[in-house]
Amino acid sequence: MPTIDTRVTISEVPADSLASAACPACSHEWSAHDQISTRYCKATTAGSYSRGCVCPAAK
């Protein structure tokens, strides 16, 4: 079973990605993610899950 590093922080997202690139899990820009949604979306992508969005932008 694959493991997921839950110690991911927003600083691990490339700086040039923060302003414009869309998250592969939810399609929001990385700048719209807080620390929880960044970790959630990275885990969603890494695990190939299909689940809802927790980003502040979605509320």
Tell me the pTM. 0.61
Domain boundaries, the chain: 20-58
SS (H, E, C) the chain: CCCCCCCCCHHHCCHHHHHHCECCCCCCEHHHCCHHHHHHHHHHHHCCCCCCCCCHHHC
Angle at Cα 40 formed by Cα 9 and Cα 29, nearest 5°? 75
Give the model's pLDDT for residue 36.
Answer: 93
Give the model's pLDDT for residue 15.
Answer: 54
12 burial (CB, 10 Å; 0-12 / 13-18 / 19+) is exposed
* Closest residue by Cα to residue 45 from 17, 59, 26: 26
* pLDDT tens digits, 7-45: 655 555 555 545 568 899 998 998 889 999 999 999 999
